[in-house]
A = this chain, B = another copy of it.
Amino acid sequence: MKSQKRIADYGIHIGCMKRGVLNAITDVAGVRVGHCTLDDGNIKTGVTVVIPHEGNMFQEKLFAACHVINGFGKSVGLIQIEELGTLETPIILTNTLSTGTATEALVRYMLKENLDIGKETGTVNPVVCECNDGFLNDIRGLHIREAHVLKALANAGTEFEEGSVGAGCGMSCYELKGGIGTASRLVEIENLTFTIGVLVLSNFGEKGDFVVDGRKVGKSIVSLEQPQEDQGSIIVVIATDIPMTERQLKRLCRRSSVGITRTGTYIGNGSGEIAIAFTTANRFAHYEKAPVCSIGIFNENHINIAFRAVVEATEEAVLNSMICAETTKGRDGNARHSLKEYASFLYTLIQISKSGSPEDL
């Protein structure tokens, strides 16, 4: 993935399951991710898009679900996912006050791609999720414009950057620098291998609570100057090729909170924590004619392994979002240090893990 040093590259291995080739949400075939970053003085913001498959999303909807872990958030489009169990647009991530702009941009994009929307057929349900980057970014400036959304869509590919990029440009996590992170896990059942990929936009947590792979490192990290801004949030996008129903996808969404809390947070009041999951295996054609269709449903007796995959991938994605991010100085001199600056600390952590950890007693 774009030659960044990720958490595993520091010798910290989250969980016990196998990773996909890229260790990214794009290990799920057809999924692409694109960024547009606005990084200029007080402006530290951007757009990240997840494109679920390579066809026309409106014509070929995917089965999807969402879950609100904590609802202090302004995400757009979840009501219809909940009712109909389908996703019919790319997912846009951006800053909180720009959801309106991004919604209009995504609507225009969908209208252009689909001349029937709003004319021969109904409307379209744009999905836009957000976190508040106002600590580093001049969020009041509403700097995101339609062109930035289109650029992120145009940029989408299977390899992409993590950290202070796209929607992650101005985000904070545990009062360090947060942003975009990803990871994946393979789900092997009998002779079948499925993939679960996770992408997060991280922007939550109090520094003192930060945990890396079970170690409470937060309290050891030297104090930064800024006071805690309790407006954190996290968006989790889960992709899989396991055939699942909406109910099962919703159960996956709920496990993402376990991955999040493994990094230490207690899910604060001000957090807009939202998970969206989709499967590329079950589709629904907009103009479907057949009265009854056949879809795959995952055997619930095996679902624990999928749950574990979501938990591990979410935890690792949060850590990747931090370790790949750069120390950033933004709006009004506010700054966030990168977790990278604590590399020597992490090194020691690894040594302990290898030689004297409780696990080896």
A interface with B by C-beta (< 8 Å): 68-80, 82-85, 96-108, 111, 117-119, 122-126, 132, 134, 139-140, 142, 189-190, 192, 211, 214-217, 219-220, 230-231, 242-243, 245-247, 251, 254-255, 257-258, 261-262, 265-270, 272, 274, 284, 287-304, 307-308, 311, 345, 348-349, 352, 356-361
Contact = CB atoms under 8 A, between A and B. Distances in A.
15 contacts: A71-B80, A76-B99, A85-B247, A97-B123, A101-B104, A230-B304, A245-B295, A255-B266, A261-B261, A266-B311, A269-B300, A292-B298, A293-B297, A293-B299, A295-B297
Contacts of A98: 104
A119 B100 contact: no
Interface centre among A119, A292, A299 (most CB of B within 10 A): A292
A230 to B, nearest CB: 7
Q: Chain A interface mostly helix, strand, loop or mixed?
A: mixed
With a 10 A CB-CB cut-off, give which of A75, A274, A299 has the most chain B CB atoms.
A299
Contact of A307 (B231, B267, B287, B300): B267
Contact of A126 (B73, B74, B140, B302): B74
A140 B111 contact: yes
B294 A294 contact: yes
A313 B323 CA distance: 31
Nearest to A352: B358
B134 A123 contact: yes
A291 B300 contact: no
Given A100-B101, A100-B102, A79 B74 contact: yes
